[in-house]
Structure 1
Amino acid sequence: MNADQICKTMSTLKSLRTPHEQVWRDCYDHTYPMRGNGFYCEMMTAQEALNRKARIFDGTATDSSRALSSQVQAGMTPANSLWFGMDVAQSTEDERRWLGESAEIIWENIHASNFDSAGFEGMLDVVCAGWCALYIDQDREKGGYLFDLWPISGVYCSASKPGGKIDTVYRSYKLTAEQAVNEFGEGNVSESTRKLAVDKPQELVEFVHAIYPRKSYAVGARLAKNMPIASCKVEVSAKKLVSESGYHEMPVVVPRWMMIPDSVYATGPVADALPDVRMLNEMVRMDMAAGDLALAGMWIAEDDGVLNPRTVKVGPRKIIVANSVDSMKPLQTGADFNYSDTRITRLQMAIRKTLMTDQLRNQDGPAMTATEVHARVNLIRQLLGPVYGRLQTEYLQPLIERCFGIAMRAGILGQPPETLAGRPYTVRYLSPLARAQKLEEVSAIDQYVAGCAMAAKAQADAGSAPDAMDNVDLDAAARFRGEALGVPSDVMRSKADVQRVRDDRQQAMQAAQEQQQQAAMQQMVGQAALKQTPGAAA
């Protein structure tokens, strides 16, 4: 694409996104106004953000959004445990070892970067607006990964395939004239920007960053212009292409919560709770006004020639001069605080339920039993299971592919086994949410094994052969259970190691039996010799 085509495409994408922006603006208005920067004006000042925050009279939606974002982040990408692995079909021991070590190196480098902070803020956008845009690249200065969460107010998306993942992202952003010259070079920017860099270096210049799949590219290309994903930056006012590059993988991941029909965009759970959030905000505002009346009171006064209602002031230690005590009386406000308290409490509970805060948060009180824990995990799996499936496809999968590609090209994973060349790998998720989806199968395995064991015992008690356990592959059951529970690979032995341990045990048992046999034979030989010796019987 040339600069003119990119500007036209940007204009079209803006018009397609405009109908949905009011919903996102309202969601941010009632939770995190600062995160909606760009939807209200080009640049929100700190005072404007405080003014918008002051219009929120109840923090239930804000607190619940933060709690849900934290739970999703901790459930998908915990920083304290490995949350993914990599596999290939019919892998050997060396291949599994290299893939396991590579996954651990990538995981360590992800969390050694700024991913945890950027990922959490991204989940806030997903919960509030339904989507976010996370840019992933290599840190050119310090090494490792660099995660940059783009404000969604300046991001416009499209998909090249109907119903497919977002693979085209246009971003509108601004640089100072000085920054533009330093980044793109003096010869690549327009004449007006070069003059601004000299006369007004802090003047802002608008750019568009277009990222889209190329129709024709070279496999394993070394030149950025031949890579599968194109990256073009255009100076908008001059319609000048200032940079053309490319990526091996899609560098921007765009996870979505709930799709808007006939659109690539989405809405989040805050949009579902928005009617209750608006009602709660208005109820609390009216309750505060009623409370002000209840504290200060409301009065009626008569202008009796002595008392002037327009100048009288009510307060402690004040004497009001009037012609009669009936000239000024207090009025009943008519406010029903019991109703408002009940209504506010119900709305708060409804918001927490919609945003799944009550179900996902740790419950106060005594420690839960194993049955309660299992029921709670099942509830979390049911609530977040469908959403987690989409986030796996649109968030975790492209994130790992991008990080793996960067690490592989940087050479930090070492030399892979030659047998892995050209073989596709699959990502195996080990996060708490992924394990929660497998716990039902773990429970079924436990019940099945226990049932077969009881049947075998009943057979033995009845004098029959206890062959009910022959139906169970205990090795497969133990391995699946360990993987589903997220047991570290260092703790679980591989099949080859298990076979080696069993062979050693068998050999040790055979050696012990042989020693016993030899000892018994030597004893028998000794006893026979004693019998043949004259006088031995005496």
Structure 2
Amino acid sequence: MITPRTQKWHTLSNERFADDEEVQRYFQEVRDILFRLRYAPWANFASQSHEHYISSGTFGTGCTFVDNVIGKGPRYCTYHLREIYFTENFQGMIDVVHRKYCMTARQAIQQFGEDALPVMVKTAAKSNPAQTFNFLHRVEPNDKRDMSRQDKEGMPFRSVHICLEGSKIVQEGGYWSQPYAISRYYTAPGEVYGRSPAMVVLPDIKLLKRNQSCHY
């Protein structure tokens, strides 16, 4: 209902060019490209957005990572909240995100390459490729951003992946925008993590369950 697959549920606009038909046609073309990429098979948007809504409705917070598949476009992946830790800046906006996750030795080599990984991971990849290891991904504002550069040093957000076994940085990079899209159903003053509809009705659920148990 929120993001129906059969509809183009957002547009692009700029008040300065609201009366310019050529600019409006350009916005429509860009919008169509965005939807075509978003709903392409490799993007996985439909299933991951559904999981995001379930997480938001159940726990009050949802997190979807928007990755970039070189040569194809965006790819979406919704993560369970047990992996996600985030903080706000002074304006109450989420700007620092940590994700603690596990990967098999085989998966780690696929993502980071053998040369970047600790010896223990490379050894496991040969003897037991299904062995799991712990990693940490941190995305934060790039406080030392060099506006004259177009590489990771010039991007607004800094990214670092760390293999916790061995405490080794296995990948550094950057993003033009925060890749972790985090929603909060609603929050009370001073709260960072969201509250969900399930939390609102939880007292009634407990009361109903207690009343039912009294009849047995």
- Secondary structure of the residue aligned to 1:208 is strand
Q: Equivalents in 2 of 1:109, 1:182: separation in Å?
A: 24
Q: Equivalents in 2 of 1:220, 1:147: separation in Å?
A: 30
Match of 1:523 in 2: none
Offset at residue 108 of structure 1 (A)? 3.3
Question: Aligned letter for 2:181?
Answer: V
Contact 2:63 2:182 in 1 (8 A): yes
Q: Equivalents in 2 of 1:190, 1:196: separation in Å?
A: 10
Q: Equivalents in 1 of 2:32, 2:141: separation in Å?
A: 30
Match of 1:85 in 2: 11
Matched, 1:160 2:89: yes
Match of 1:114 in 2: 44
CA shift in 2, pair 1:220/1:103, >3 Å: farther
Q: What is the total number of aligned residue pairs between the two structures?
A: 212
Q: Equivalents in 2 of 1:263, 1:200: separation in Å?
A: 43
1:229-250 Cα deviation digits (max 9, x unpaired): 1110001121111100111111
Identity of aligned residues (%): 25
Instruction: Report matched runs for 1:381-420 at 5 Å.
Output: none
Offset at residue 170 of structure 1 (A)? 0.3
Q: Equivalents in 2 of 1:213, 1:136: separation in Å?
A: 17
CA shift in 2, pair 1:181/1:106, >3 Å: closer
- Secondary structure of the residue aligned to 1:180 is helix
Match of 1:128 in 2: 58
The structure 2 residue matched to 1:268, chosen from 165, 182, 196, is 196
Match of 1:367 in 2: none
Offset at residue 130 of structure 1 (A)? 0.7
Contact 1:229 1:246 in 2 (8 A): yes
Contact 1:233 1:242 in 2 (8 A): yes
Match of 2:178 in 1: 250
Contact 2:103 2:134 in 1 (8 A): yes
Instruction: Report matched runs for 1:301-340 at 5 Å.
Output: none
Offset at residue 134 of structure 1 (A)? 0.5
The structure 1 residue matched to 2:73, chosen from 135, 144, 159, is 144
Q: Equivalents in 2 of 1:284, 1:105: separation in Å?
A: 54
Offset at residue 284 of structure 1 (A)? 4.0
Question: Aligned letter for 1:269?
Answer: P
Q: Equivalents in 2 of 1:220, 1:106: separation in Å?
A: 28
Offset at residue 138 of structure 1 (A)? 2.5
Offset at residue 137 of structure 1 (A)? 1.9
Which runs of no fewer than 5 residues in structure 2 stay unpaired? none
1:357-403 Cα deviation digits (max 9, x unpaired): xxxxxxxxxxxxxxxxxxxxxxxxxxxxxxxxxxxxxxxxxxxxxxx
The structure 2 residue matched to 1:216, chosen from 141, 144, 151, is 144
Which is helix-richer, 1 or 2? 1
Contact 1:225 1:244 in 2 (8 A): no
Highest Rg: 1 or 2?
1
CA shift in 2, pair 1:186/1:105, >3 Å: closer
Contact 1:216 1:228 in 2 (8 A): no
CA shift in 2, pair 1:109/1:284, >3 Å: farther
Q: Equivalents in 1 of 2:73, 2:68: separation in Å?
A: 6
Offset at residue 280 of structure 1 (A)? 2.5
- Secondary structure of the residue aligned to 1:202 is coil
CA shift in 2, pair 1:278/1:193, >3 Å: same
Which runs of no fewer than 5 residues in structure 1 stay unpaired? 1-73, 291-538
1:438-458 Cα deviation digits (max 9, x unpaired): xxxxxxxxxxxxxxxxxxxxx
- Give the TM-score of the pair, scaled to structure 2: 0.89
CA shift in 2, pair 1:90/1:262, >3 Å: closer
